């Protein structure tokens, strides 16, 4: 890994990661009804501190063949601080599911391939390949990966806190069996990270004791 043509230069990462980017997820859009024919929806993004980091309006065409994005952007890399209104149309494509029904996909405007997720870079929504992005999960250590899984579970339970050790209350309408299964998954993630902390602490204590041990006198 890391030879000629790799994504590192002098051991520095050169590919942008997906985690901090604004994105469109076909599955989430459909779940909230934004991909229904003639559906008009407003989406608000927030950063890790809960502050607004962008908004976007979507309109699905009456025949369900495409979705129009209406949003504002600015190119800070080029020193442009002025907001620019932008409108972009993205085709939708449906494929049959194995046990009935259909799955909706977003067609990347760059390569025309079916994608579940499109990412916004420089004000344009394209797929990960077109933007040459790296999945953030591939660069995570076990601790960070556990935190990501924890936050995903907490989000499904409607959590509003950023505490990665918090167990949210059961959401209204959720079956107790489902809640208990997710609570057990959260508990396993808590214990996994606790084990990592304990192991790191033990290593640190051993290193401190080793540094504090006086040298053995020569005879």
Is the domain of 19 the same as that of 120? yes
| 161 φ/ψ angles, rounded to the nearest 5 degrees | -100, 155
Q: If we measure between CA atoms, which residue out of 157, 147, 109 comes closest to residue 129?
A: 109
- Output the DSSP codes for 142-208: HHHHHHHHHHHHHHHTT-----TT--PPPPTT--HHHHHHHHHHHHHHHHHHHHHHHHHHHHHHHHH
**Interval 46-104: pLDDT, tens:** 654 455 666 789 999 999 999 999 988 765 555 556 777 888 999 999 999 888 888 99
State mean pLDDT over 5-30.
65
99 with 154, same domain: the answer is no
Phi-psi category of 38—alpha, beta or left, where left has phi over 0 and alpha has psi -120 to 50?
left
Are both 68 and 163 inside the same structural domain? no
DSSP-assigned letter for residue 129: T
Whether residue 47 sits in one domain with residue 15: yes
Asked whether residue 201 is assigned to any structural domain, the reply reads: yes
Sheet order of strands, 23-25 included: 23-25, 117-121, 124-126
Which of the two residues, 7 and 217, has the higher pLDDT score? 217
- Is 112 a domain residue? yes
Same-domain check for residues 120 and 184 = no
- Shared-domain flag, residues 79 and 145: no
pLDDT at 7 over 50: no
**Quick one: pLDDT at residue 78?**
52
Do 157 and 190 belong to one domain? Answer: yes
What DSSP string describes 18-44? STTS-EEEHHHHHHTTTTSTT-EEEEE
Tell me: do 88 and 165 sit in the same domain.
no
């Amino acid at each position: 890994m890391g030879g000629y043509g790799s994504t590192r230069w002098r051991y520095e990462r050169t590919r942008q990661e997906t985690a901090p980017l604004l994105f469109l997820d076909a599955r989430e859009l459909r779940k909230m009804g934004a991909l229904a024919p003639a559906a008009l929806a407003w989406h608000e993004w927030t950063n890790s501190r809960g502050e607004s980091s962008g908004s976007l309006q979507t309109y699905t065409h009456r025949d369900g063949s495409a979705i129009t994005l209406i949003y504002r952007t600015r190119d800070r890399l080029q020193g442009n601080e002025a907001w620019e209104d932008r409108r972009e149309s993205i085709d939708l494509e449906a494929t049959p599911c194995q046990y009935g029904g259909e799955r909706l996909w977003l067609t990347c405007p760059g390569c025309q391939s079916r994608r579940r997720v499109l990412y916004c870079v420089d004000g344009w929504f394209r797929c990960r390949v077109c933007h040459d992005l790296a999945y953030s999960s591939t660069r995570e250590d076990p601790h960070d990966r556990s935190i990501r899984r924890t936050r995903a579970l907490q989000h499904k339970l409607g959590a509003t806190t950023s505490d990665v050790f918090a167990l949210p209350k059961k959401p209204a309408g959720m079956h107790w069996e489902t809640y208990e299964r997710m609570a057990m998954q959260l508990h396993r993630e808590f214990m996994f990270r606790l084990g990592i902390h304990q192991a790191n602490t033990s290593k640190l204590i051993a290193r401190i004791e080793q540094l504090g041990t006086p040298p053995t006198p020569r005879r």
